[in-house]
Every structure is written in structure tokens, then in C-alpha cells.
Amino acid sequence: MASSASPLPGAPYLHHAHGELHLEGVALSQLALQYGTPLFAYSKAAMLHALGAYQKGLAGRKATICYAMKANSNLAILQLFARAGCGFDVVSGGELARVLAAGGRADQVIFSGVGKTRQEMEHALKAGIACFNVESLAELEVLNEVALRVGRRAPVSLRVNPNVDAKTHPYISTGLKGNKFGISHEDAVAAYVHAGQLQGLEVVGIDCHIGSQITEVGPYLDTADRILDLVQAIEATGVTLKHLDFGGGLGINYRGEQPPQADALWALLLAKLDARGFGQRHLVIEPGRSLVGNAGICLTEVLYLKPGETKHFCIVDAAMNDLPRPAMYQAHHHIEAVRPRSGAAVTYDVVGPVCESGDWLGRDRDLTVQAGDVLAVCSTGAYCVAMGSNYNTRNRPAEVLVDGNQVHLIRQRETPQDQWRQEVLLP
């Protein structure tokens, strides 16, 4: 567990005041009472602060911050980032549709992912997106074919796999040989030469992304060196790269991790780019988790305390369908009561109502709680609701955005009827 000295994940926007947890100016017990549980609440100021660190780090440069919306694709959150000047990194036609519905600009959208369909390519081309991040030679051919058919040139970057170890969980490490992402470093120059010859394509940049929840600077600096070497080799063949895309991946505080701040990271990266003569290129980045992760919490009510022979269980009303990261990655999320009680703590596994042993939110947590208490599961702004499901026909939770003392409902709690709307009974 995090040492008591480490800051509360989400601080200072998540903080203790008047003996209970608050998000910005709002008491979390109040939120739970008003909107019910499970409830996801996000701090607007925390998101804008996180974005501000990137904006500060890239100030004075040509740069586009493309929010990797897979982390949290609620329309209101997209709207917030669009209004703050962000572009978007999308990975499906559905995500592009969300960007447009939220008022985002197509010409600031980049489209990543290893399995784009012809239909998705056509829609994105017609919408006028900024760039396709192409991940294989086969995809290059298909995109060329689609572009020629619809009479547009597709702007492309190739996603290059720099073979750098991001030193993160194997499921979320993407920049090493042996995973499905990107074109290998060795094949990149030939792939660019080939792309440059395809009439339906316009080569505009180069892209990489080495993984997620990266907490060290080293892998970024190594990646930058590898990519800049490649840029030199590619440009020596006569292909020009207008933009350099360094992906996302910066980590957050779940249990006391201290990843570099975005502005500090970019100061180091820009020093390297400047030293090698690339500081004036248009830069693109794709941060997801680091913009929203620590801004969000999940409020959940304790339903039952169940003592066991070898373990005690704290059964809550949120589950793996709302918050799948512990079940999927054994991920740690800090959990505490929104109104601390005095008394001796008991060690519990905090589990949900879903019929799976894998349905747990936290293991071996020392809590002083009673049934009816509300717990905050911290650092749940990224990859929680977005990866959620309706398993066990559980309604998706409500979501609110907190702005100072104001609360905006940004997603209504689902109903069973919402869930089966697309289903059809037999005649």
C-alpha cells in the first residue's frame, strides 16, 4: 500500500476538508446522496491543470495535443478538451463520431490503431482528419486504395515500433518487438519509400507510442533518439516529415508513483530535439491517462461486511464491470472512506457484486467502515468507465463533472431498458 507520506492520488483537487473528502468544493458524501452510487466524479480543474502542464511544456512550439480519448470518451470531457484547444487521437469510427458530436475539429484528429476498416477509413477521409497513423504495410495498401476510390489523398504517418522497453505492465507495453503494434524500426525506411510512391497517400509524419503508465524519463529519451535517427534516414531518401508524433503514455499516481510532470518531461525532450535540430518541427502528442486519470474518483457504497475464515470481505455496489482495471491488470487504486470513522481498522478485500472471483477493486485494504458508508476509489478517471460493460445486466454508472462548487451531470445512470434497447424478441 502507499505510504501515509505519499500524497493522496488526485490531490490537491481531491482533499480532506471539515472531516471528509471533497472534490474541489464539493463534499463527496453529498454527491453520493444526490446522484446515487456507483458514481464517477471528475474534477474539471484537475483535467485543465494536467493539460496545462503539457501546454506549458510545449509553449512557443508548433504542437498539437491530441487527447487519446480511449481513456475517457464522455462527450462533456471531449468538449472540455476541444474548448481548451486539443485535438484528438481516435482508434475507431465510433470515437471519431464522438469527437464531432462534442464539437471537436476533424482537422485536429489523428487516427491510430492496427485494425482500421475500409469503412472507417472512408468516413475519416471524408471528414477531413489530420492524419492516419498507419501500423502495417497491408494497411498502407488498403488506405491507398480507399483514398483513390473516394478521390482524396490520405495524410499518413507510419507508427514505428522503436523497440524500447517502457518498463510498465506487459499488457500496456507496446513499443517492444513481439507485440502487434507498429512497423519495425528496421523496416521503417523501406516502408516510407514505398508509401511515398503510392498516389493515394501523402506522407506527413512519423509516429510512435511505447506503452502506458510510464513513470520514468529514460524510455522517452531513448525513444526520441531512435525516432530522430530514423527521421534522418527517412529524409535522406527524399521524403519529408512535417510532424513528429511521440505518442502518449505518461503515468499517474495510483499508489505513490512519482512520474515526471509533463512540462518537466517536455523540457528534457525539447532540449534533445533542439540539440539535434528538430525543435522547430510540428510536434504531436497523444496523452490519455495523464490528462484524466487522477481527476476522477468512483464513489461506491458499502453493502455488506462479510467476515471470512481467511479473509474479510467489504462488498460494495461498484464492480469489475464499472472499474475493470484491478480484474484485468491487478491494478491498484487507492480506496478510502469519504467520511473517516474512528476505531480499529480491519483488513478487507473490497469486492463487487458480480459473480466472478476476479471481481475485486482492492485487496488487503485496512478500512474502518460500516454498511452504508461511501468509499472513494481514487485515480479512476482513465480506463474505467471507458472499459466498462453491462456484465450481469448492471447499469452503467452515472458520471458528474465538478467545477468549483458546481456539479454537472454528464451521464445519466443507465436503466435496464437502455441496456436492451437494441435487442429484439422473437415473433
Annotated catalytic residues are 355
Size of the site for ligand LLP (CB under 6 A): 21
Q: Which of residues 357-396 bind ligand LLP (CB under 6 A)?
A: 383, 387
What letter represents residue 149's amino acid? R
Query: Which residues lie across from 155 on neighbouring strands?
Result: 202
Q: How far is the CB of 209 from ligand LLP (least distance, A)?
A: 4
Interacting residue with ligand LLP among 288, 352, 388, 397 (CB under 6 A): 288
Question: How far is Cα 383 from Cα 396, in angstroms, rounded to an integer?
Answer: 14
Nearer to ligand LLP, 130 or 315 (CB): 130
Q: Are the beta carbons of 307 and 317 closer than 8 angstroms?
A: no
Of 373, 362, 305, nearest to 337 by C-alpha is 373
Nearer to ligand LLP, 313 or 329 (CB): 329
Q: Does 300 bind ligand LLP (CB under 6 A)?
A: no
Torsion sign (Cα): 187, 192, 193, 198: positive
Interacting residue with ligand LLP among 22, 185, 281, 289 (CB under 6 A): 289
Ramachandran area for residue 346 (φ above 0: left; ψ -120 to 50: alpha; else beta): beta
Q: Does 348 bind ligand LLP (CB under 6 A)?
A: no
- Quote the DSSP letter at residue 412: P
Of 123, 50, 106, 39, nearest to 80 by C-alpha is 50
Q: Which of residues 218-257 bind ligand LLP (CB under 6 A)?
A: 247-250
Q: For residue 43, what is the enclosing H or E element?
A: strand 39-43
Nearer to ligand LLP, 117 or 415 (CB): 117
Q: Which of residues 116-155 bind ligand LLP (CB under 6 A)?
A: none
Q: Does 89 bind ligand LLP (CB under 6 A)?
A: yes
Task: From 30-38, 78-86, 217-225, 282-290, give the range in contact with ligand LLP by CB under 6 A.
Answer: 282-290
Q: Which of residues 3-62 bind ligand LLP (CB under 6 A)?
A: none
Q: How far is the CB of 315 from ligand LLP (least distance, A)?
A: 24
DSSP string, 284-326: EE---HHHHGGGEEEEEEEEEEE--SS-EEEEES--TTT--HH
Interacting residue with ligand LLP among 286, 322, 336, 373 (CB under 6 A): 286
Q: What residues line the site for ligand LLP (CB under 6 A)? A: 68, 71, 89, 112, 172, 209, 212-213, 247-250, 286-290, 325, 329, 383, 387
